[in-house]
Structure 1
């Protein structure tokens, strides 16, 4: 299968996985783990005081989501880069070994 076909299938899969929950549960609140953790801690110990406050409080939830997505994208880029380098080194090593055997 050609690379562009594989990529197209993967993109369609991501779109489907993203859209289906929004269609099936149109009025659902898709909150993050931070809010759930805060609710659980408050339920266990209503007098709990955090150890520290955040250094920078985003102006809105949208900006907070943007910063989170940016952080995730940078992390994915770093992981992809490292995996690409490892794969390229592995291919280069196999190619070099193949040339030595034919000499």
Structure 2
């Protein structure tokens, strides 16, 4: 992953509404959720949801698929794992890790 891609994804997730949308989609699993379900869970206007979903799609964190008249949103798990890996790859490279951090990183990669 490139620095610019990671920065764009982190910027997108830096908005509380987008982070909420993303967490809902991550919890939904590979099937994703219809946008109407996401809207119900958040209680936000459709136009607001559309705006935030567009940004998440642009950064590659979310994909959308039309199924007949329903728009399905899905978290892109490979993108999530790539971002997490990018953040963790150089953890403590130039120094010693705080207690427990190295163990958590190894467990997370297993």
Q: TM-score under structure 1 normalisation?
A: 0.29
Bigger share in helix: 1
Q: From the CA coordinates, give the structure whose radius of gyration is larger.
A: 1
Q: TM-score under structure 2 normalisation?
A: 0.28
